[in-house]
Homo-oligomer: A and B are copies of this chain.
Amino acid sequence: METDFIAWLVSRLPADQRLEVPPGDDAAVLRPPAHRRTVVTVDMLMEGTDFVLGPDCSARAIGHKALAVSLSDLAAMGARPEAAVVAVALPRHGGDTLGREIEVGIEALAAEHGVTLAGGDTNAWDGPLVISTTAIGSVRPGAAWRRDGARAGDVLVVTGAFGGSLLGRHLAVVPRVREAIFIAEHFAVHAAIDCSDGLSLDLSRMMAASGTCGVVRLADVPIHADARRRAARDGGTALDHALGDGEDFELILAMPPEAASALVAAAGTAPLDLPITMIGTVAAGTGLVAEAPDGGRSPLEPRGYVHAFDS
């Protein structure tokens, strides 16, 4: 671990920060919260694959996104974020400025959620920008949301609205951190996942892990205004975009019916000041099924972003 990256950031932390050792040492020392489990997740974003730096995508935005996707992973576990470390490969030319802007984006989001930036590793190379974020959170023992816990009879619930994220929300990611913590404290959740690769694809992953079938009432899927804009501009239906675009970073939850009803009723006031919608149910079986308004059912093919190799 290197001494420079985020050291100035860490140096600005309030005195009650959880670091026991000053920034710039070989590793950071954190005080884990008592009686809680540690939750850890890592993500990597690469220039040219996950983003293209330019007028529409600043280095600051990439810093924000890099931390946001990791915080979204913690939210999908019902976990409270505690700390993060960041490794970057910066282009040799101009990389120091780039690194500084990335830090600003990371710092703002970390401050918003009380995340301790515990250190990092800054590197220069003759390649494009690569940034890897590790986020560390905590949950009560046994309370972590999993994706394999859905049961037949559960109700499928989502936060927010879906589709068209490429029009800007794919960068200005709002991880559902506060919402997840609040829901975990007050409502029974059997399974959870965040929507990174596509609503239908991520839901299908939850169903596969749980050994259950997801029945989606297509008319109830909350469609983002961006999905309608993309449909008008690029073709496809707004529903298609909602089901397959991905990078919405909303929560997809499987809950007992009474918990789902209570959660939907609680929506609209902080910290749940966002739409919360029941989009279907969990049934015995496998895969996804689409349910039309007349009750007719047909298979629903999962769509979304798949990381692929040439063979």
- A residues adjacent to B (C-beta < 8 A): 1-3, 20-22, 24-32, 37-44, 46, 48-50, 73-74, 76-77, 79, 83, 85-90, 92-96, 118-128, 130, 132, 134-137, 139, 141-142, 144, 146-148, 192-194, 205, 209, 307-311
Contact = CB atoms under 8 A, between A and B. Distances in A.
A248 to B, nearest CB: 14
Given A130-B130, A309-B96, A27 B49 contact: no
A41 B147 contact: no
Nearest to A72: B26
A20 B120 contact: no
5 contacts: A25-B77, A27-B39, A29-B37, A40-B83, A124-B307
Q: How many of these chains are in the complex? A: 2
A118 B141 CA distance: 17
A119 B42 contact: yes
Contacts of A20: 37, 141-142, 144
A43 B132 CA distance: 10
A152 B151 CA distance: 65
Contact of A132 (B73, B87, B148, B311): B87
Nearest to A136: B40
A136 B38 contact: yes
B44 A309 contact: no
Given A27-B73, A37-B32, A44 B88 contact: yes
A310 B93 contact: yes
B147 A26 contact: yes
A102 to B, nearest CB: 14
B42 A120 contact: yes
B42 A146 contact: no
A90 B41 contact: no
A100 to B, nearest CB: 11
A129 to B, nearest CB: 10
A106 to B, nearest CB: 13
Contact of A146 (B21, B32, B48, B192): B21
A41 B77 contact: no
Contacts of A310: 92-95
Contacts of A311: 96
Contacts of A121: 42-44, 132
